[in-house]
């Protein structure tokens, strides 16, 4: 069953975040992921959302998400994201 990473991110250092943004797609692809949403223009339908960037990445299953997130390749760059932004990522099963 497909599973998804859903991310809500508030970027406070866009210049630093650019390095993460440039490096992460290759890691996502290596673990079978594909972006469905990656930033982009959006309409806030309900006020108070905690971020200004939204991400949805589809993976074959949650095991693939765990392999991606725990991989040395991702762990090498996750600190760039956390230093340049605040937010969260969640891995969820699809329906």
Task: Give per-residue pLDDT as tens, 24-39.
Answer: 999 999 999 999 999 8
Spatial contact of 89 and 66, defined as CB atoms under 8 Å apart: no
Q: For the chain, what are the domain ranges?
A: 3-43+51-93
CATH number for the 3-43+51-93 domain, one of 3.40.50.1970, 3.40.50.10800, 3.30.70.100, 3.30.300.130? 3.30.70.100
pLDDT tens digit sequence for 48-84: 777 889 999 999 999 999 999 999 999 999 999 999 9
pLDDT-derived band at 41 (thresholds 50, 70, 90) equals confident
- Alpha-carbon distance 92 to 95, whole Å? 10
Please tell me the pTM assigned to this model. 0.92
CA of residue 87 relative to chain centroid, distance? 10
- Alpha-carbon distance 39 to 71, whole Å? 23
Spatial contact of 80 and 17, defined as CB atoms under 8 Å apart: yes
Question: What percentage of the chain's residues is helix, strand, coil (to nearest 5)?
Answer: 40, 30, 25
């Amino acid at each position: 069953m497909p599973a998804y990473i859903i991310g809500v991110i508030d970027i406070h250092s866009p210049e630093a975040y650019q390095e993460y943004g440039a490096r992460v797609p290759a890691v996502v692809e290596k673990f079978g992921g594909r972006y469905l949403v990656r930033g982009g223009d959006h309409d806030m339908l309900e006020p108070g959302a905690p971020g200004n960037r939204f991400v949805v990445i589809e993976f074959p299953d949650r095991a693939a998400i765990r392999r991606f997130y725990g991989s040395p390749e991702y762990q090498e760059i996750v600190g760039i994201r956390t230093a340049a932004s605040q937010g969260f990522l969640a891995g969820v099963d699809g329906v």
